[in-house]
Amino acid sequence: MDADAILAGLDEQQRQAATTLGGPVAILAGAGTGKTRAITHRIAYAVATGEHAEHASLALTFTSRAAGEMRTRLARLGAGGVQARTFHAAALAQLSHFWPRITGSGMPQLLAQKASTVADAAAQLRLRLPTAQLRDAAGEIEWRKSQAMTMEDYGVQARIRPMPTGIDPEAMLDLHMAYERVKDERRQLDFEDVLLATAGMLEREPVAADEVRARYRHFTVDEFQDVSPMQQRVLDAWLGDRRDVCVVGDPSQTIYSFAGADAASLSRFVHDHPDAEVVRLERSYRSTGAIVGAANRLMRGREALTLHAASQEPGPEPALAAHGNDSAEAAAIAAACRAQVDRGANPGDIAILTRFHAQSGLLEQALASVGLSSTVRGSRRFFEIPVVQRAVLMLRSAPPDGRPVFQAVTDIVMGLGYRAEPPATHGEERAQWDALHALVTLAEETDGTDLAGFARELQRRAATEHEPTVAAVTIATIHAAKGLEWQHVHVCGLAEGLLPVSHATSLAEIDEERRLLYVAITRAQRTLSLTWARSSGHAVRQPSRFLAELGTRTATARGGR
């Protein structure tokens, strides 16, 4: 495609991004500002003008879906020869190519998942860990590797990080070492080893490094705020002493710190490259002025980008509604969604965003009760969660004993590991607690039934969830919603202990929760409602501290076309 045609249709900021070539470049791109459009046009423009060689360009992102979208757009712009891959896909291709040449043997087997190997390592140490703790231990291993930590470094960190329940720091460090031994004995590599081995190969093998650097000379890194220290090490190895790299991202959308991301990575890049060209994309094509204003208020004074709505129509202000309890909140949101559909909205243009997957159960049932199908994005539906299925089975088989439903349900789920207070950690252990807590809360809010009736009600809810989900309202966690958008968005559970989550106590953790809400708000195109419940079962809640900063008015949740 002609270079001038590639620039046609870009706004002034996007055009600046597309034409800023060579040397280190940082594109700070706010939510809805056309980030992917700007960087694909930049790559295509560089190829069309001869500044970049098509087959020497590598675009890196974090999901296969995003890489596929980038390849499609580049092909339409006449730059189909540019490689667009995830970090791991690019590293694996190189490792597979060089491993036999360097070692004289075939590539080790790649582990599909860690849990079974972690279980074998735990057995060697005579540690008895339930499934949730095994998965959380696997998550700790992933975190350690993403941070490019030595075992000695991790040993220090383990003493100040919350560990999965029942595992002390010394035992966790022993488990990490045992896991690595088991894996090495079986000649296996895990997902993170691919990056570690690629970086080590390029750092120690000049022949491999020279060949890779001769092949790729121009780098674009999308979602740079999500780059972990291990990924940064691989990128540095790819670059060598060259500086033709463009990083793109938004520090306000850093919501994967638990996976090694760092909100300061973009500012650190600019600090490390004082001559870097910095381009800001702040014109939002996604959201109305009212929604953009709320997002800006939330992030004010935090070195965030200041968004400006491209649309001249301000749109309705975000509405805030408080409800008596979780069930009432879910019912009100479902009624608002029903009203939006009745006014002509497509159900597929509506999303309900939650902090935890366990919040989806009440929402699914509430939507079904008003005749709306739902789809839960990026996870199993609530009644498909194994611990929930076990709890329902135990409730169905429990003999009647005259106890209040709430007490009977609580006693049963405590046998599955539930405790009154949530675990001071995230991951599988917290997810299972949230799922069981949702059942306890439902029991607390259920009137006029016995245990058998409550079990039948759960069965009815489970059956309702399996309706067809054509033209369905989306229910998604905020993490699963990143990168997506809907005409109408309802953000629920905006209470202390949910958002921000109870285990967020440090300033850094609270900032992460703030960025989560920012991501949720900026998914909305036309209308945004924010809701919270004054109680959850017997527990009294307070509104999220973030609501006061948003300046939203208290109102009944409203919809719109």
36 is in an annotated binding site: yes
The DSSP line for 258-282 is: GGT--TTHHHHHHHH-TT-EEEEE-
Supply the DSSP symbol for 543. Answer: B
The answer to whether 348 and 337 are in contact (CB under 8 A) is no
The answer to whether 342 and 419 are in contact (CB under 8 A) is no
Question: Per residue in 512-548, pLDDT tens?
Answer: 999 999 999 999 999 999 999 999 888 899 999 999 8
35 is in an annotated binding site: yes
Give the SS3 label for residue 370.
coil
75-79 mean pLDDT:
93
Q: Which residue did the predictor score with more confidence, 199 or 418?
A: 199
Q: Which residue did the predictor score with more confidence, 441 or 476?
A: 476
29 is in an annotated binding site: yes
Fold agreement between 3-91+194-281 and 310-379+470-561:
yes
* CATH among 3.40.190.10, 3.30.70.980, 3.40.50.300, 3.40.50.10470 for 3-91+194-281: 3.40.50.300
- Mapping DSSP onto H, E and C, the string for 142-202 reads HHHHHCCCCHHHHHHHHCCCCCCCCCCHHHHHHHHHHHHHHHHHCCEECHHHHHHHHHHHH
Please give the CATH superfamily to which domain 310-379+470-561 belongs.
P-loop containing nucleotide triphosphate hydrolases (3.40.50.300)
Amino acid code (one letter) for 98? F
68-83 mean pLDDT:
92
133-139 mean pLDDT:
88
pLDDT the model gives residue 125: 93
User: Measuring CA to CA, which residue among 529, 443, 542 is closest to residue 498?
Assistant: 542
d(CA 519, CA 528): 13
pTM for the whole thing? 0.80
The answer to whether 136 and 428 are in contact (CB under 8 A) is yes
pLDDT the model gives residue 555: 42
Does position 561 have pLDDT exceeding 50, yes or no?
no
pLDDT the model gives residue 506: 87
d(CA 444, CA 66): 43
pLDDT the model gives residue 448: 66
Does position 209 have pLDDT exceeding 60, yes or no?
yes
* Sequence ranges of the domains in the chain: 3-91+194-281, 109-186, 310-379+470-561, 382-464
Q: Is the peptide bond before 400 cis (omega within 30 degrees of 0)?
A: no
Question: Per residue in 423-468, pLDDT tens?
Answer: 766 667 777 777 788 888 888 777 667 888 888 878 777 765 544 3
Q: Which residues of 28-50 are buried (b: 16+ CB within 10 A; e: fewer)?
A: bbbbbbbbbbbbbbbbbbbbbee
469 is in an annotated binding site: no
pLDDT the model gives residue 201: 95
Does position 557 have pLDDT exceeding 60, yes or no?
no
pLDDT band of residue 469 (cuts 50, 70, 90) is very low
d(CA 508, CA 394): 40
89-101 mean pLDDT:
93
463 is in an annotated binding site: no
Does position 558 have pLDDT exceeding 50, yes or no?
no
482 is in an annotated binding site: no
The dihedral through the CA atoms of 459, 462, 466, 471 has a sign that is positive
